[in-house]
Every structure is written in C-alpha cells, then in structure tokens.
Structure 1
C-alpha cells in the first residue's frame, strides 16, 4: 500500500512532516524493493512506528515507511522461552499475544503503544536495577540493510552488528523481525504511596533493592512525592470493573487535563497546581498480569526530556534540580519521573557500562519548555548524563562522541551497512555529525 502526499505528526505534535510517499509493506521482499529503489533514485527513507518519540528521529519530506502491516507473532517456543515477532507489532498487542502462550517479557516501560522495533531502536526502558532496557531482551534481529541485503543477526553470528542493532536509531537498516528472550507469564502487585521527597531520597537505596520494580514521581514546588513499587505475587488478579476504570483512568486523566489547561492559560497557577497534584497522589494497590500492570494510560499530552545518569548520582541530581527550581520560577506542574536500570554493553545504550538512574522532565503540550529543559539538561550533563534517544535534548555529535565509548565503532558499521546514507535525515546528520 502506498499513500502519497499525507501529513504526519508525532504523539505530542511537536514534530510534523509531509513525506512525499508513505509505504506500508506487507512482506520483507517489499521492504527490500523499497531500499533498492532508494539506492537507484537517490532517495531517503525513514521508518516510523507509533510516533512516541519527541525528537525529529523519523521526520522526513521524502519516503516514510510504516510497518503497521507487519505485526504479530511468527513463532513461540515455550520450552526455550523465546518468540519471534514482526517488527511492527505494538507492545500492547504483543503482551496479550504472549500471555495466551503463557509467556511474558521480563520488564516493560509504562507506555505500551510503541512498536517493538521502535522501542528497541530508541532504548526504551522500564524500571528496576535487575533489568536492562527492552533491547537487552533481544536475542535475534532480521534487518534489511541500506544495500538491500537481508541479514539474520545474533550475538553469536554477528557480534559487532548485533551490539549496534540493539539500539540503532534506525540508522543501520530496517528491522523487520525480532526474536525475544522471554519468561513464564507472571503477576505483579502494584503499590502507590505518598511520602515527603527527602524521605524518599533517604529510603531510596533500600527501595531500589527490596522491590522488583521501584520508581518515584516528585512534583516541582511540592514536598510530597509518589512512590511506586511492583513485586511478583501469586495473588489472584484484582478486577477493577468498569467503575474502577472510569475512576482510575478516565476521571484521573480528565481532571489532570483540566488542571493542565488552567496552567497553560494562567502560567502563575503552575506551582499551586503542582502542589495540589502532589497532595492528591493516589495510595493503594492492585494485582494484575505483568503486561497490564506496567502500562499507564496517558491521555494528557506533553513534551519530554529524559536523561540517563549513574545510579549513585540520583539523589544529588534531584537536590540540585530542586534548588534550581526554587530560584528559576519555571512554569511547570508536571511531575518528574525517576527510574532505574541495569547497565549493559549495547553500543548506543545510555546505560552502557553503568547501572543507571533515569530522570524525565515533562511540560504540557503547548507550554514553553525550552528554558526549563535546557536548565535541567545542564545539571544532567554535569553528572555525566546521556540523553534518552526518543526524548528531547540539545546535544550534537561533539558532545555525544565523548559520552559513548563505542561511538566510532557504531559509525564505521553504519557507513558499511548504509553506504549511500539512505537512512539519514537532518536530525541524524546533526547528532551524528556526518
């Protein structure tokens, strides 16, 4: 299927494009044909997932490709605890499909709308110091390179290529299939509580190791923060029913949406709104299947910056951020999200070589975010921060090269697999410096 002259925007609306053509391949052969056509005609091609990245990662005025017609599970092996899936498969659907086979991913983030290829290509992660980002769950990748070659890649067959492809920003080729390492399906008990931010920071070293998954949200200009923990359990699933869904999802998002619009219309209300939201943090818990408990419904749209930092620096960074906010008078009411991840050896992973903390700052869609994000970014960089590839940042190749030990190795690989630069766009040229 081909769609000509369409308009595209990402989830928050901050990135827009009018590609000349949008392709919807159904088979790998059609992906190969598209790449070969780009080589012959000197065209550029970017692959789009669900548009949940905030950067211009896929923005193009030439050819855009969607893998929405290449979704589903190709093969499961319950004995080996693996599954091979089409790259366009959305995480929400994937969770359900795996669950019917008695399988599950070991960890996920709190958004499940992304495609599996988009999630791994940008380093999407959940929380928990025992778990790496979603890319660490990948054990095999089928990719169409910039020369039209189809490669089946594993760490054993192509060690360097595999480490490059696990997080590649779509710059090494078009991922068409992914093989995942899984585990038996499991249930989680989720608990939410409200504590002062300083108490949270003091308890943080214990909370990080005493819970399977631990994260917290703290609110600018407020003392209370929200603690979230998840632990495996044999308890039966909690059934919320339609009333619980309306209360927990629809009403909560609607109320926050109204408060967000108020903050946009009257910026001086941002601090009082933040304090009100902190005071209303929900307490309590529920039990559910893992893929359902991880996911959070987000109906209020925003823009986001997220940085990876050495895990041991989390408290220092937050205290410095709070001090900056006390003097900066930023018009922000969205909470700051704080999570953790195990270090890895993936070449472009923000968690490369270190157990990590992730800190994400948000601004309601349509409200100015530039000064707030830039000032927080300067703090993150002071402590060795690396940006999440799907979130806003201001870095270019010079700074990024110093942050990633395998930076040059990745680009040697990119030049070999995409010699004509088919997969480059202006944003990638800016951050790659070539």
Structure 2
C-alpha cells in the first residue's frame, strides 16, 4: 500500500442535471467534472475538499438507487478508459475505472484472456459494477468484485492510495464492494483467466419442472439461471426469445425461461432454431434490456432460494396480478467482501421489477417482507428498504468497514443523503 499527494488547484466545471438510465433518479449537482487522467481526477477531488463539497461519481447510470446523487461535485470517468497494464504471467490486467465491461472483454480476447464471469449487462463502467456488487450466475462463481485484486483510490484530500490484495487484504476486502465510499477509483487490477468459449442453451419449462431440476442444473452447469414469467406478455418486457419450439412445455404463462452455459472447446456457431450457440465468453454473457423497468434485487442463502421464490410467485399470482415483469433468479458463490451481498454465503439472487409510471411500491414492499426473514442483502445499485439499524446484522464486518471508511474519509466527503442514512 502506498500513497502519493496531489493538491494542484483546479477550476471545477459548471454543474447541471443528471439522470440515470431509466429516469427514476435525477438531481442537480453544483459542479460537474470529467477528468482525463488520474492527476486531473485527484486535483478535482482535492479542490472539492477545499471548497467543503461532497463528491460522488457517476458510472454508466445503471443504478436504480440514489447512490450517485450529490449537491456538490459530480464526477464522470468516461474519459478514463482502456487497459493500462497486463501481467500475462500472473494473468492480471489493469484498466482505468471508467472502462466499460464490454470493452474489457474485447481487449482481453485479443490477449487470449477472459473475465472469469460477468453479468448480463456489459455497458456498465467497471468501477460502478464492482462498487455495487454486480454479478452473473454460477454456483461456484463469485460476483465481479471478487476479480478485483488491486486498485488506486483518490482519497478525499487528493492523495492516492495504492491497494493490493496480497499486501493489504483487509482494506481490499472493504474496497471491493464499497459503493464509492472510500474514494474515487482511478484504476483497478483484475485477476483474469485464460480465454474460453461458452456454449449456451435455452429452453422453457413449467415452474414445478424447474423447481424439480433446480439443484441438479445448478450443480451440473458452470452457469444456470432463469426468468420466471407469470403471463405470456412477461418475456416481451425483457426482450426474451420465444423458446416454444425447443421446450417440453406448451404453456406460455407461469413458466421459466431457462439458460445454461458451459465452457467448451467447440468452434463458434449459432443455431437460431435450437437456441444454441458457442462464442467467446464475453460475447455470450450479455443480453439486451430495454430501460423500461425499476428493479429490486436481494441475495438470500442458496438453501432457501426455492421456498422464497415460491412465496414471491404466490404473491404475484394472487395479490399483485398486475405486476408482470419477469422474476430473475441467479446463483452467486460466497466471498470475503465486507459489504458484498454474498459475504461468506453461497446465495441466490431474486429480482423483481415495476414499470415506470406505475405505482409498484406496495408490491416491492411485500416482496421485501417475504425475503427479509431470510437475511436478504441488497444489490447496492437496486431498490431496497434497508436502514442503518439493519446493517450490522446483515453484514458481519460492517463495523470493520466503517472503521476503514472513517480512516480514509474522516469528513464523510464521499457520502450522500442515501448513504448517510446507512453508514453515517
């Protein structure tokens, strides 16, 4: 761990309006900044400190929660992109914090490398995806932040903190999922793997058939996940394909849109008739979403996944029949991130959504009431109902994180109103 100082004065830019990708979060910042280098970034943060301004960072705007909102300095790292270093022997690659996940995948492919796993959206900036606990699916695979083995953070005074998981595993365990509260990430070093192709297969099944094969499919495939769709219109809301031609069920409602992916040596191909394809890993993971939903997602222990999903399904089929967005269900291995939704716990994630312009709040609070008794932890970028008093029970290392946060940001420069209610 090392620190360098950066205190060169800089003029902060004019402020303005910001909104996220789906429009449910918006605010006006007093200043905006778009640094093109770590030096510029550090100077902007230091200047904000001298002006007694809070600081937050906007990634690609995919969070549904108000984690970006600030009345002070809003930073964008979209000018800080690209690979800046690669250790091919150790399979470690360093990228600038604003680099999009899809661009990382394309760069890695050219090096003969791959991300070990990723989520189903690849337009996110890597810093934001790590900071909120973004994940893919796979019962033996951790969330994206488990691949972070080093990073450089600009602290509130403009100093640079150089973190390495081998030299300081404790601070890295706090920084891997920190929701931007420890500083502004300038670069991140990722532990990657040799390049691999994935074979993807999709089909539709009845809900009970899915539940019967749940354990076997999770254990027998590198990746397994599904969308439960209460009505035929559900899959159109997420642009899911019509899998009727390759499915054992003829039903179109109360069905699960199933997907498995496994590493293969087969050559790339795509068969649109059978919904099978093989391609480089980062070309298989993403799917296309229309920004027409507001999402809540909680992680619960994997052993309770099926019973919890059954309760959410019953809720939607009886009380909230107008809530028809698919329920996404995925698997994530446990990890050591202090604020990770998967801390020391193999998990399933259950996500539900409401439509913009629709009063879905009672539906989400009812889902929260179902999942909360299972020790549900939120994806930090998705809607949730947790408060300060919930934190210590949900996150056994909450106080350890708080100690590190206060050491690195003693004046709470990187908190906003939302985060202050949880960590202030």
Matched, 1:238 2:269: yes
Checking the alignment, whether the CA contact within 8 Å between 1:49 and 1:114 is kept in structure 2 is yes
Matched, 1:176 2:186: yes
Give a deviation string over 1:19-75, Cα, whole Å, max 9, x none: 121101111111221222122111111011000010000111221001111100001
* Partner residue in 2 for 1:256: none
Instruction: Give distance in 2, aligned partners of 1:283 and 1:380.
Output: 36
* Partner residue in 1 for 2:132: 122
Instruction: Give distance in 2, aligned partners of 1:20 and 1:300.
Output: 27
Q: How many residues align?
A: 393
Matched, 1:388 2:419: no
More helix by share: 1
Instruction: Give distance in 2, aligned partners of 1:54 and 1:96.
Output: 27
Return the offset for 1:77. 2.3
RMSD, matched Cα: 1.5
Instruction: Give distance in 2, aligned partners of 1:48 and 1:150.
Output: 20
Checking the alignment, whether the CA contact within 8 Å between 2:299 and 2:378 is kept in structure 1 is yes
Return the offset for 1:156. 2.4
Q: Which ranges of structure 1 fall in alignment gaps of 5 or more residues?
A: 245-281
Return the offset for 1:3. 4.8
Equivalent position to 1:219, from 225, 229, 236: 229
Return the offset for 1:4. 1.9
Matched, 1:428 2:419: yes
Instruction: Give distance in 2, aligned partners of 1:214 and 1:8.
Output: 36
Checking the alignment, whether the CA contact within 8 Å between 1:48 and 1:64 is kept in structure 2 is yes
Matched, 1:199 2:209: yes
Matched, 1:100 2:92: no
* Partner residue in 2 for 1:5: 15
Matched, 1:371 2:362: yes
TM-score by length of 2: 0.90
Give a deviation string over 1:347-371, Cα, whole Å, max 9, x none: 0001001100000101222222211
Return the offset for 1:82. 1.3
* Partner residue in 1 for 2:315: 324
Cα distance change, pair 136–297 in 1 and its aligned pair in 2 (3 A) = same
Checking the alignment, whether the CA contact within 8 Å between 1:39 and 1:420 is kept in structure 2 is no
* Partner residue in 1 for 2:94: 84
Counterparts of 1:337-356 in structure 2, within 5 Å, are 337-356=328-347
Secondary structure class of the residue paired with 1:7: strand
Return the offset for 1:224. 1.6
Checking the alignment, whether the CA contact within 8 Å between 1:46 and 1:64 is kept in structure 2 is yes
Equivalent position to 2:286, from 292, 295, 299: 295
Instruction: Give distance in 2, aligned partners of 1:338 and 1:283.
Output: 23
Equivalent position to 2:56, from 40, 46, 52: 46
Return the offset for 1:283. 5.9
* Partner residue in 2 for 1:408: 399
* Partner residue in 1 for 2:249: none
Instruction: Give distance in 2, aligned partners of 1:236 and 1:365.
Output: 42
Give a deviation string over 1:229-283, Cα, whole Å, max 9, x none: 001112221258xxx7xxxxxxxxxxxxxxxxxxxxxxxxxxxxxxxxxxxxx96
